[in-house]
């Protein structure tokens, strides 16, 4: 082994060691770093537009973009989260006291169903009404207890939250200001051809746009519409149900219907006919069509990962990374597909050399 080869291998070991160490010290704030990067990618077009109007004043353009992000993203999100946690804590208290019993509502629905439906349920092994009622009540109580505990945790970890928010905003400013230079420098470090680099970076930006700007806006719209309809119909906890509908809207083949359909069924079988009809029509014609109308406008037709890949990668991302996983999961899936798309051409290039 010659001296230069030994030097290169030693350098690779050193490079790997310091990289792992650097990632390790950043892990406590990976969420803040991740969302700072995502927001920088989403709002970079706005920053470029402001930069053009301000004749290259990078600091001012980045500062104005940051203020826009705080006003339209950060502040509304904090207010909604606070209201959601308070509502969850209130629902938990009502469930604990027995004032609110979802199991009783479920039993009321089942008792109103025809005997033929009961026979079908028994045939599929779900005819034990008492067991189903107890499981539903326990699940609802656990969910509301989780929200109540999160409300307590937020109060106890206010300092940690403020530090993370400060790190994200601080990093976001510099990513907006220097993002173009960082992207060009990153491309130089990737040992791929210009064509392959462009393909990977384009895929990365497309998936971020589709997952965050597209899916979140669509989900928020569906959740807001569903929550407003629940409030109009006098359903308690409209904000909580709206947030749940928004969250479930991120999952293909599941959607907000898993929330509003049982409520519509409850209205219909308990005699609240007009409420059930209004909720059903609104769910099908308004909430259900939001995805078909808004997603092409916000995302475009150039994406896409198959729906089943999005579903599996989203669920897997949530299981591994928590709430951040609904972006990280599809992002990894997209990069996986993009890299395998490049594999045949990479082999051909290697053979030609």
What pLDDT, in 10s, does the model give residues 122-169?
565 554 444 545 555 555 555 555 555 555 555 556 677 788 888 999
Same domain, 206 and 57: no
Confidence grade of residue 106 (pLDDT, cut at 50, 70, 90): low
Res 101: pLDDT: 57
Specify if 80 maps to a domain.
yes
Cα 119 from Cα 314, distance rounded (Å)? 37
Mean pLDDT of 84-103: 64
pLDDT value of position 130? 45
Residues 218, 293: one domain? Answer: yes
Cα atoms in the 13 Å half-sphere on the side-chain side of 287? 30
CA distance 177 to 294: 30
pLDDT tier at 111 (50, 70, 90 boundaries)?
low
Residue 68 has pLDDT above 90, yes or no: yes
Pick the range with the lowest mean pLDDT from 1-15, 76-90, 137-151.
137-151
Among residues 129, 153, 180, the one where a domain terminates is 180
Tens digits of residue pLDDT in 41-63: 888 888 888 888 887 788 888 89
Same domain, 216 and 336: yes
Most confident among 16-20, 240-244, 315-319 (mean pLDDT): 16-20
Q: How far apart are CA 189 and CA 181, in angstroms?
A: 13
Q: Contact at 8 Å (CB) between 175 and 40?
A: yes
Q: Per-residue pLDDT averaged across 55-77, rounded?
A: 88
- Per-residue pLDDT at 124: 54
What confidence score (pLDDT) does residue 129 get? 46
The CA–CA distances, whole Å, from 210 to 72, 203, 206, 304, 322 equal 19, 10, 6, 9, 20
Domain presence at residue 11: no
The structural domain count of the chain equals 2
Q: Is 156 in the same domain as 210?
A: no
**Is residue 147 domain-shared with residue 199, that is, in the same domain?**
no
299 lies in the same domain as 218 = yes
229 and 313 fall within a common domain: yes
Same domain, 219 and 351: yes
- Whether 285 is covered by a domain: the verdict is yes
> What is the model's pLDDT at position 285?
85
Q: Given 180, 210, 238, which residue is the final one in a domain?
A: 180
> Of 180, 208, 233, which residue is a domain's last?
180
Residue 3 within a domain? no
Task: Tokens 């008492």: give the residue.
Answer: 130
pLDDT at 103: 56
Residue 63 lies in a domain: yes
Q: What pLDDT sits at residue 169?
A: 92
Residues 62 and 40 in one domain: yes
Q: pLDDT by residue (tens digit) across 30-40?
A: 888 888 888 88
Residue 105 lies in a domain: no
In a domain, 346, yes or no: yes
For 240-277, what is each residue's pLDDT tens digit? 788 888 877 776 666 778 888 888 887 887 778 888 88
The pLDDT confidence band at residue 223, using thresholds 50, 70 and 90, is: confident
Q: Are residues 228 and 151 part of one domain? A: no
**Residue 217 sits in the same domain as residue 350:** yes
Structural domain range at position 31? 26-99+140-180
Q: Are residues 55 and 83 located together in one domain of the fold?
A: yes
| 189-208 confidence digits (pLDDT tens) | 666 667 767 767 777 777 77
Count of beta carbons in the 10 Å neighbourhood of residue 88:
23
Residue 186 Cα distances to 38, 42, 191, 200, 201, angstroms: 16, 18, 10, 12, 10
More confident residue, 17 or 84: 17
Which tokens hold the place of 274?
Answer: 């007009």
pLDDT at 284 over 90: no
- Specify if 316 maps to a domain: yes
Q: What is the pLDDT of residue 286?
A: 85
pLDDT at 67: 94
């Amino acid at each position: 082994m010659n001296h230069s080869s030994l030097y290169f291998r030693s350098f690779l070991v050193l490079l790997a060691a310091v990289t792992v160490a650097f990632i390790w010290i950043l892990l406590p704030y990976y969420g803040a770093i991740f969302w700072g990067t995502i927001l920088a990618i989403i709002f970079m077009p706005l920053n470029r537009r402001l930069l053009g109007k301000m004749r290259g004043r990078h600091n001012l353009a980045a500062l104005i973009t940051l203020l826009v992000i705080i006003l339209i993203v950060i502040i509304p999100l904090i207010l909604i989260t606070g209201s959601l946690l308070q509502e969850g804590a209130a629902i938990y208290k009502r469930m604990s006291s027995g004032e609110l019993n979802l199991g009783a509502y479920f039993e009321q629905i089942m008792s109103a169903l025809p005997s033929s439906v009961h026979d079908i349920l028994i045939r599929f092994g779900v005819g034990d009404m008492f067991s189903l009622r107890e499981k539903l009540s326990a699940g609802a109580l656990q969910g509301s207890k989780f929200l109540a505990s999160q409300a307590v945790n937020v109060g106890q970890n206010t300092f940690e939250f403020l530090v993370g928010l400060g790190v994200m905003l601080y990093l976001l400013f510099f990513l907006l200001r220097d993002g173009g230079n960082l992207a060009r420098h990153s491309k130089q470090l990737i040992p791929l051809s210009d064509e392959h680099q462009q393909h990977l970076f384009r895929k990365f930006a497309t998936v971020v746009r589709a997952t965050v700007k597209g899916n979140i806006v669509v989900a928020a719209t569906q959740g807001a519409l569903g929550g407003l309809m629940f409030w109009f119909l006098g359903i308690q906890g409209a904000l909580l149900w709206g947030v749940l509908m928004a969250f479930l809207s991120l999952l293909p083949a599941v959607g907000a219907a898993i929330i509003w359909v049982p409520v519509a069924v409850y209205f219909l079988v308990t005699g609240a006919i007009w409420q059930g009809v209004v909720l059903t029509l609104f769910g099908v014609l308004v909430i259900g069509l939001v995805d078909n109308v808004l997603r092409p406008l916000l995302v475009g037709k150039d994406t896409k990962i198959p729906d089943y890949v999005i579903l599996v990668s989203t669920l897997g991302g949530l299981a591994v990374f928590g709430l951040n996983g609904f972006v990280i999961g599809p992002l990894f899936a997209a990069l996986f597909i993009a890299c395998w798309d490049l594999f045949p051409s990479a082999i051909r290039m290697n053979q030609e050399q």
